[in-house]
A = this chain, B = another copy of it.
Amino acid sequence: MDDPEAVHRANEAFYTAFESADFDAMSDMWEHSDRVTCVHPGWTVLRGWASVGASWVAMFQGPERLQFILTDERVEVAGDLAWVTLDENIIGARAATVTALNLFTRTPAGWRLLAHHGSGVAGGVS
């Protein structure tokens, strides 16, 4: 498996964890460090795994489950970092499009998230 394919699969695993509200799987996809950041649509930036992880716990404890159709994905790899840009097309009651930038770092265990930044496309969520 080449690097772009491995990053693509790590990105998919992130969204699978998100859709299934599986915190253990979500936790596995992130670097657990102070340098990670996460921006959910309309939110301020969360810094550090403690804050980022807590945001996923809170989301997954709620009743809402999101389903995504991922489109327009591009993977770029540069050394031990990689980034993915794509659209998250949320289906169901809260239909909306979120455009996202996901930054990954190479680790012995595979590619792990350093940053997720999602923002609503006008006409969708904020």
* Interface residues of A, Cβ cutoff 8 Å to B: 35, 37, 39, 41-45, 47, 72, 74, 76, 78-81, 83, 85, 87, 97, 99, 101, 103, 105, 114-115, 117-122, 126
**CB < 8 Å neighbour of A74 from B47, B72, B83, B85:** B47
Say what secondary structure dominates the interface of chain A.
strand
Q: A76: which B residues are within 8 A, CB to CB?
A: 35, 114
Given A80-B78, A101-B37, A126-B122 contact (CB < 8 Å): yes
**How far apart are the CA atoms of A83 and B104 in the complex, in Å?**
12
Contact yes or no, A45 B122, CB < 8 A: no
A126 to chain B, nearest CB (A): 4
B121 touches A87 (CB 8 A): no
> How far apart are A79's CB and chain B's nearest CB, in angstroms?
5
Q: Can you list 27 pairs linking A and B with CB atoms under 8 Å apart?
A: A35-B74, A37-B85, A37-B101, A39-B99, A42-B126, A43-B122, A44-B87, A44-B97, A45-B85, A45-B87, A45-B99, A47-B85, A76-B114, A78-B80, A78-B81, A78-B105, A79-B79, A83-B103, A101-B101, A101-B117, A103-B103, A117-B119, A119-B119, A119-B120, A120-B126, A122-B126, A126-B126
